[in-house]
Chains A and B, each alone.
Chain A
Amino acid sequence: MAATTLAEKLEERLRAEPEAVACHLVAGDGSATPVTVRALIERAMSFAAMYGPPSDRTTRKTVGVCLYHGLDLHAAFLGGLWAGHIPTMLAPPSPRMEPSKYTRSFAQMLEHVQPAWLVVDAATHAKLDPSALGGFPESHLVVAELVRDAHDGALQPWHGARPDDVALVQHSSGTTGLQKGMALSHAAVLEHNRRYAAHLGIGRDDVIVSWLPLYHDMGFVACFLLPLLEGIPFVEISPFDWVARPALLLEQIQARRGTLCWLPNFAFAYMAQSVREGQLADDVDLSSIRAWINCSEPVTHASMTAFMDRFRRHGARPEQLTASYAMAENVYAVTQSLPGRYRTVRAERGTFLHQRRIEVRDDPSGDALLFVSNGPVMHGTELVVLDDTGGRLPDGTVGELALRGVHRFSGYFGRDDLTQQAMTPDGWYKTGDLGFVWDGHVYVTGRKKDLIIVQGRNFYPTDIERIAGEVGGVNPGRVVAFGIADERAGTEGIVVLAEPLDSYEGDPRKLALEIRKSVAQQLDCTPADVRIVQTRWLVKSTSGKLARNDNRIKYLAELKSTPAHAREHV
C-alpha cells in the first residue's frame, strides 16, 4: 500500500534502500560527507525518542528546529515527523546580532511559533539568556549535540496521523512573517512532490546540488524534502560557505555530476559578478546540469544572461535555463518552465504602465519591457488573474494572481482569520502577486502587497519601520520602508525614509547610519538606502496613513535621481 504520510514515506525508503546515500553534506573546504538513509533516519529516531509520541491526533505539538547546516538540522526535523508531531524549520538568528537582541529575537520567535520544543546548537544555547525567553521552559530548549543515540534503530514511526492532518509548518522570514506559518498536510506534500517530479521529469538519475537554507520553501521542499522522500540524492552546502565562496557550488556540481540546481534570481547575478578569474579551475564542467531553476524572486533576463556569459565556457548553456513561480501556500511549485523552453516576452512600456496590459513588441531596439516566463501551470493547480473587484481578466492583462488546486496549504497555522482574508468567496487563494498569462505561460510582474524580497528572503515593511522608529532621534510614526529594484544585484533593495523628531539637532547622516545598524542587527539584512528627510516630506494617504507606494514614487523622482556628489540633506 502506498505511503499516505511523510513518516510512512520515510519508513518505506528506509526499508527499500537503507544503505543508499541520501545526501552529501559539504564543508567549507569542499570535503563532502555522505550520509546514508539509515544513518539519517536513525539519528532522526534519536530526536523522535526524545520528543516522545503524542497520545492522540489532538495532542500533537510543534517542534521548532533552529539549527545551522548539518546532519542534526535534518534529523531534528525528521524526528518530529517520525514521532508524529508538527516540525517547522526556523531561521537561526544572525551571529552578528548582539547577545541581548539575539535573545530578544528568539523570544519573538517563540511567542509567534509557540513550539513545545526548540532545537538549537550548543553555541546558540550558550549565547541565550533562558530567563528572557518569555516563560519558555528551559527544559524544552533542546541542545542538539546533547541528544544521545538512545535507541537500537528499531523505533517505529507514529502511525496515528491521517493524510489530511497537518504534517509540518513553513514560516517565511521576517518577524511578522512568523505569525503566518503555512500548514501543509501529508497529502498536499506527497501530491506536490509527485506532480512536480513528473512535470520537471525528476528521476533517480538526478542529483540536486544546493546551498539554499532549509527555512525557505525553495531549499526546504525542492532541495531537501522532495529528493529525500523520492529517493534522489542531494548535495547540501551551507549558505554561509556559499556566500563566502560562490565557486563552491559549481565545483560540487562538477564533483557530483549535479543535474538540477535551484537558485533565486540574485544568485545568478552574484555568481556572475563574484566568481573571479582564477577562482574556478578551467576544467570545471557544468554540462551535467539539466536545469538551473530561477525562483523566489522576480526573474530578470539580465541576471540569466550575465550568468550564461560568465559560465558558458564551463558548459553552462541557455537550454539549461528555466524558471518557476512558487510559494509555500502551494507547498512549493505553481509553475515551472522546462529545459530548452526558456521564453521571454517584450511588451510596449506605455501600454504596460498605463493600461496594465501587454502589447507585444518584436523590435528589440526600443525601450520595451522584457519579461521572463515562469512557465506553464503544473497539472493539478489552476491559476487565474483577477482585477481589483475579483473579476477574471483575459490573457495579456495584468492583475492579481490567484490559485487553487490539489496540493494547496491547509491554511495559516492557528490563524483562520488570515486564511479567510486570503481567500475569495469561491475558494481561490489570492497570492498578492501581480502578473499576466500569455500564450499559456505565467509572467510575474510585481506585488500587490508590500512584502520586500531581498536575496530570496521576505521582509515586511512594518518590521523595518518599527525598528527604524525605535532609533533615538527618529519620529516613530514618520518612517516608511519599501523595496526598489536593484538591477545590478538582481534583487530588491530596502529603502528606509525617516523624519527626525523636531527636537533632533544632530547630523542626519549619522542618524541614517544608526538606522542602518539597527536594521542590520535585528533583521540581518543590509538596507540599500536610508535617508533622513525633512519634517512632513513623507506623503500620507487620504486615510492618514503613510503611503508606501506614493513615497516610493516620490523617492524615485526626487531622491534617487539626485546625483550623489550633489546630494544634501533633503
Chain B
Amino acid sequence: MPTAVTSEELKAIVCEQFLDGDMNFPIEPETNLLEEGICDSLGLVRLAAELERHVPGLKVHDQDVTRDNLGSIALMAEFIRRKTGA
C-alpha cells in the first residue's frame, strides 16, 4: 500500500543529502533547491535514488528527474502524490 510522505520527511532527506543533516536550515517547501545553491543537477539524480529508497512503491524514471518534479520540497511532494496516488 503506498504511504504518504510528509514535507518534514522530505526536508529531512534534503538536509541529509545536501546540508550535512542540518534540519534547522531555513528551507521552505517552495525553496528552489537549484537556484538557492542547495543542490545541483547531479544532486537531483542522487535525490531520485534516495526518494526511491524512502518511499514505498515509488519508481522514478529517467525522464522524471527534472527540476519541475524534484526542484523543491513542494514539487517533490506533488510528484510523489501523482506517482503513488498517496
Contacts and interface: CB of A to CB of B under 8 A. Distances in A.
B6 interface: no
Contact of B38 (A245, A276, A526): A526
B75 to A, nearest CB: 16
Interface in A229-249: 240, 243-247
B41 A243 contact: yes
A455 B42 CA distance: 10
Nearest to B36: A517
Nearest to A276: B49
Contacts of B46: 270, 273-274
Contacts of A244: 41, 45, 62, 65
A509 interface: yes
Nearest to B17: A488
B34 A96 contact: yes
Given A96-B34, A526-B39, A246 B45 contact: yes
Nearest to A248: B62
Contact of B36 (A246, A270, A513): A513
Given A244-B65, A274-B49, A279-B62, A526 B26 contact: no
A525 interface: yes
B43 interface: yes
B42 A509 contact: no
A564 B21 contact: yes
Contacts of B36: 513, 516-517, 520
B76 to A, nearest CB: 17
A206 to B, nearest CB: 28
Nearest to B18: A526
Contacts of A455: 42
B41 A240 contact: yes
B49 to A, nearest CB: 5
Contact of A564 (B20, B26, B39, B41): B20
B30 interface: no
**Interface majority SS (helix, strand, loop, mixed), chain A:** helix
A396 interface: no
A520 B37 contact: yes
A565 B21 contact: yes
A510 interface: yes
B11 to A, nearest CB: 13
Contacts of B62: 244-245, 247, 279
Given A273-B49, A526-B43, A507 B26 contact: yes
Interface residues of B, number: 28
Contacts of A245: 45, 62, 65
B9 to A, nearest CB: 16
Contact of A520 (B21, B34, B49): B34
Contacts of A564: 15, 19-23
B80 to A, nearest CB: 16
Interface in A525-570: 525-530, 564-565, 567
Interface in B18-63: 18-26, 34-43, 45-46, 48-49, 52, 60, 62
Contacts of A530: 37
A530 B25 CA distance: 11
B20 A529 contact: yes
Nearest to B31: A513
A243 B24 contact: no
A243 B37 contact: no
Nearest to A489: B42
Interface in A507-523: 507, 509-510, 513, 515-521
A526 B37 contact: yes
Nearest to A244: B65
B59 to A, nearest CB: 8
B35 A509 contact: no
Contact of B23 (A507, A510, A518, A565): A565
Interface in A314-362: none
B26 to A, nearest CB: 5
B35 A517 contact: yes
A246 B25 CA distance: 30
Interface string A490-519: 000000000000000001011001011111
Contact of A243 (B23, B38, B42): B42
Nearest to B44: A244
A565 B46 CA distance: 23
Given A274-B46, A517-B35, A509 B26 contact: yes
A535 B58 CA distance: 46
Nearest to A560: B20
A513 B35 contact: no
B26 A513 contact: yes
Contacts of A273: 46, 49
A15 to B, nearest CB: 42
A275 to B, nearest CB: 9
A521 B42 contact: no
Contacts of B21: 564-565
B52 A276 contact: yes
B26 A519 contact: no
16 contacts: A243-B45, A244-B45, A244-B62, A274-B42, A274-B46, A276-B52, A510-B26, A513-B36, A515-B37, A516-B38, A518-B37, A519-B37, A520-B40, A526-B38, A526-B43, A564-B23
Interface of B: 15, 18-26, 34-43, 45-46, 48-49, 52, 60, 62, 65
The 7 closest A-B pairs by CB, nearest first: A520-B37, A516-B37, A564-B21, A526-B40, A274-B45, A243-B41, A564-B22
Given A96-B35, A509-B26, A526-B43, 9 more contacts: A243-B41, A245-B65, A513-B26, A513-B37, A520-B35, A526-B18, A527-B37, A528-B20, A564-B22
